[in-house]
Structure 1
Amino acid sequence: MSTAPPLDPAPSAAPAPMPVPGRLRATGYAAAQVVLFVPAALLVVLWVVGGVLMVVWVGALLLALAVPATRAFADLHRRMAARVLEAPLPAPYAPLDGLGPLARLRTVARDPMTWRDLGWLLMSLTAGFVLSLLVVLLLVSVVTWWVWWYAAGPLMRLRSSLDRAFLSPGTTERLEQRVQQLTETRAELVDHSAAELRRLERDLHDGAQARLVALSMSLGMADSMFASDPAAARRLVSDARQTTTAALGELRSVVRGIHPPVLADRGLAGAVEALALDMALPVEVHAQLLGRPPAPVESAVYFAVAECLANTGKHADARHAWVRLGHADGMLRAEVGDDGHGGADPAAGTGLTGVGRRLAAFDGTMMVSSPVGGPTVVVLEVPCALSWPRTTPSSGPG
């Protein structure tokens, strides 16, 4: 909840200008950009000559030098723009790791950011250079230093905004990245669903189905023995009853693997508390959920937390663990941590990769912090809205 500002008879003041350290730092960036005019011009020449000479192998070598040099040069300006604008400005280039020379060349040529970098170089040599030079001249000029006092901040923010406009992905690039992400997520979800179906089929075939077959055989033998050996038939019926109990237990286990009844009855917080009680080490659960997430999200987060706690019990050698659940700003957040020896690696086959894939189907993310020596903290976040707690069938008639 926001609070009202104190009453003040004076009229509201305009936003405060950039403080002196901020002006000086921004002017320092401007001076650096003026000095970097020369390497920017050299990069443009390198691109032009390399493009012209692409008919021979020399052009390919020149472009092989120009691409990484331009990206490093652009990253330097991204960092300066991010500090002036006080906002992160990542480098959204297509990954090149593991690609051969020809594949790298095709990827670079198809990457829209390659051509945005070239456009930014031209802007940097023209309008960008003029803005940066103007900031420096206003400072060193005795006559106009007071203009620098008021203009340095806005001019550098304008220059940094131009850098951001060129060095950030446009709407088309963002949509393409989103489509690519959704395509990968869908493929992973299909693979995960197929693996889950195979697991259920295996569990039913090796467990309940085998026991039901044995039950049918026992009952058939008992039916044929009732007339000749009633005592043996009764023993077979008793064995069949035990087989029925075991089969029902295995069926319940399979059902719990699909959607645990405790999750449907008690919600995410109650189900996680039940998980904590089954752990061999003490697990503290802190939950602040004023409603329930959608059932698919609730199930995905539950199984993700269960996998993390299982890893803690198997690999962490921990004495204490904790789970924190909360929801804020449209984001369901679960944190699972322990005081074990650390060193958890999602790529090491500990189940964390599957957790990440399960959450990615809902645009969720997983972050792992596990330095050697501990502690290990896994943060799970899924965007969703909460609904009011639902009345479950076990609660009685509504």
Structure 2
Amino acid sequence: MPARNALEALAMRPTRFLVSSWPWRSLAYLTGGALIGFATIFVVIGLLTVGLVLSVVVVGLICYVATLLSGIAVGRLERRRMRLIDHDPLPDPHRRPPGPGLRTWLMFRLREQSTWRELGYTTVSALVLCWMDATIVAAALFIPTSFLFAPLYVDDRPLSVTLPLTLVTPLALVIAAYPVTAWAGARAAMARAILEPRSDDTDAKLVEVTRSRARLVDAFEVERRRIERDLHDGAQQRLVALSMQLGLARLEVAPGSSAAASLAAAQDLARQALAELRELIRGVHPKVLTDRGFTAAVGEAAGHAPVPVDLDLRVTGRLPDPVEVAAYFVVVEALANVAKHSAATRAAVTASIHDGRLHVDVRDDGRGGADPGRGTGLIGLADRIAAVDGTVALSSPPGGPTLVHVEIPCG
């Protein structure tokens, strides 16, 4: 397996290491570090000088702000340069600003911890690292070059003395390859330690992912409601009208005729389709949940459940829409699992609010042994609750009973 960074490359056999690209990549990395460090020194000194001279006008303030933000450019360049000697990419810790505009971007960047870490790295690079880079590179190039051209500048020594120095040049290059690569690897490790995203950056991104998931869930629920309205106000009403028209047509034909039998069969099919459509609408998004809230919707779901359900719903008033939707579908999914998998004879649903959190319990007297990994819908249920910052707990020992406990913040 090829080495992933310069320090790992040093563990290669000497023959492999010397013919690999690591010494040259390390030399290029250090040379670039020295040049960038010196350029940073001149640019920062220039910005501070201009800022000091023009501090009475806006231009001076702009120079000071540019100095503070200079670490962003140096950090971005360093993350790209590290690919020379470290194959593990260093991710960009900066997040996208919440809105457009230069002022928003500046305020957002100045509040990020990563901006100040990059400024700290830029300071260390300009004051210490670039000088060490230059020293290592100069020594690695100067000493072999001195040996190589010794016969040209050593005039007071015979050729028998200076020629061996020239012949030692390859050995000097071999020796120089190791400290160059070692310092390049150590320098990259220091840069990674400073520039690598910290837990605060990760937490911020996690918060953004959580909010994005919540927005997707909200958008999905809006779409469910739209589909429910379209089915309820469109297809369902047309099926009702079709059934009525077929009933009127049956009155116009002679009883016992073949036409009467066909119309009766068609009306039965229309009634079956209407019943299936109503069941589908209830599964998409029940209208009673939108109109009357969680308690009424759970009561209707319990009335359609295949097993008897005892209800103890101590929830008064309306809850936030995402909470009502999530809690309702938890109850529906749990009762569906009771009917399909538990062989229970009775179930119970309790709900109450304590300390600003909705507590919902669904119990059954079935055989237990519920396993989320067997496709019982419990994983999807947990994902739905997690999207509203809730928690799900499952207790289902073999032999039963099974309890699904859900808590959702109601703030």
The within-5 A match list for 1:78-117 is 78-95=79-96, 99-117=100-118
Structure 1 residue 239 displacement after superposition: 3.9
Shift of 1:213: 5.7
Equivalent in the alignment of 1:164: 192
Q: What is the match of residue 198 of structure 1?
A: 226
| Structure 1 residues 59 and 196: CA distance shift in structure 2, 3 A | farther
Q: Is the 8 A contact 2:30 2:184 kept in 1?
A: yes
Counterpart amino acid of residue 264 in structure 2: V
* Pair 112,57 (structure 1): closer, same or farther in 2 beyond 3 Å: same
- Counting aligned pairs with the same residue, the percent is 19
Mapped pair 1:189 → 2:190: no
Distance in 2, matches of 1:26 and 1:59, equals 39
State the secondary structure of the residue aligned to 2:85: helix
Contact kept in structure 1, 2:34 and 2:130, CA below 8 Å: yes
Say whether residues 1:208 and 2:247 are aligned partners: no
Given that 2:69 and 2:119 are in contact with CA atoms closer than 8 Å, whether structure 1 keeps it comes out as no
Structure 2 match to 1:122: 123
Contact 1:116 1:166 (C-alpha < 8 Å) held by counterparts: yes
5 Å matches for 1:1-398? 15-16=12-13, 18-20=17-19, 21-45=21-45, 48=48, 56-63=57-64, 65-66=66-67, 70-95=71-96, 99-140=100-141, 141-142=143-144, 145-212=173-240, 214-215=242-243, 230=255, 234=260, 237-247=264-274, 250=277, 295=377
**Aligned-residue offset at 1:139:** 1.2
Letter in 2 for 1:171: S
How big is the shift at 1:156?
0.5
Q: TM-score, normalised by structure 2?
A: 0.50
CA distance in 2, matches of 1:108, 1:41: 22
Greater Cα radius of gyration, structure 1 or 2: 2
* Displacement of 1:295: 4.9
Cα 1:191–1:298 shift into 2, 3 Å: closer
* CA shift in 2, pair 1:99/1:294, >3 Å: farther
Q: Which amino acid aligns with 1:137?
A: A
Find the aligned partners of 1:127 and 1:294 in 2 and give their Cα distance: 60
Q: Whole-Å Cα distance in 2 between the matches of residues 167 and 65 of structure 1?
A: 19
User: Aligned partners of 2:199, 2:48: CA distance in 1, in Å?
Assistant: 28
TM-score by length of 1: 0.51
C-alpha distance in 1 between matches for 2:51 and 2:256:
95
Structure 1 spans left out of the alignment, 5+ residues: 1-12, 259-290, 300-357, 362-398
Query: Given residue 32 of structure 1, which amino acid in structure 2 is its aligned partner?
Result: G
Cα shift at 1:159: 0.7
**In the superposition, relative to structure 1, how do residues 26 and 122 fare at CA in structure 2: closer, same or farther (>3 Å)?**
same
Aligned-partner SS, 1:154: helix
| Closer/same/farther in 2, CA of residues 55 and 237 from structure 1, 3 Å limit | farther
8 A contact 2:86–2:188 mirrored in 1: yes
Cα deviation 1:41-88 (Å, max 9, x = unaligned): 134335656887777411343256557764333322211112211111
Runs in 1 of length 4+ with deviation above 6 angstroms? Answer: 50-55, 251-258, 291-294, 296-299
Q: Is the 8 A contact 1:27 1:152 kept in 2?
A: yes
DSSP 3-state at the match of 1:89: coil
Contact 2:239-2:270 within 8 A present in 1 as well:
yes
CA-to-aligned-CA distance 1:249-301 (integer Å, 9 cap, x gap): 7568779989xxxxxxxxxxxxxxxxxxxxxxxxxxxxxxxx987858899xx
Deviation (angstroms), 1:27:
0.7
Instruction: Tell me the SS of whatever aligns to 1:85.
Output: coil
Provide the aligned C-alpha RMSD in A: 4.5
Structure 2: runs of 5+ lacking an equivalent? 1-9, 148-171, 286-372, 388-411
Q: Distance in 2 between matches of 1:200 and 1:54?
A: 64
Distance verdict in 2 for CA 1:169–1:59, change over 3 Å = farther
Cα distance in 2 for partners of 1:192, 1:94 equals: 26
Aligned equivalents of 2:37 and 2:210: distance in 1? 40
From the superposition, tell whether residues 138 and 147 of structure 1 become closer, same or farther in structure 2 (CA, over 3 Å): farther
In the aligned structure 2, how far is the partner of 1:54 from the partner of 1:94?
31
CA distance in 2, matches of 1:202, 1:180: 33
Instruction: Measure the CA separation in 2 of the matches of 1:89 and 1:137.
Output: 28
SS of aligned partner of 1:36: helix
Residue type matched to 1:155 in 2?
W
Deviation at 1:248, TM superposition (A): 5.7
CA 1:194–1:41: 2 relative to 1, 3 Å? same
- C-alpha distance in 1, partners of 2:35/2:44? 16
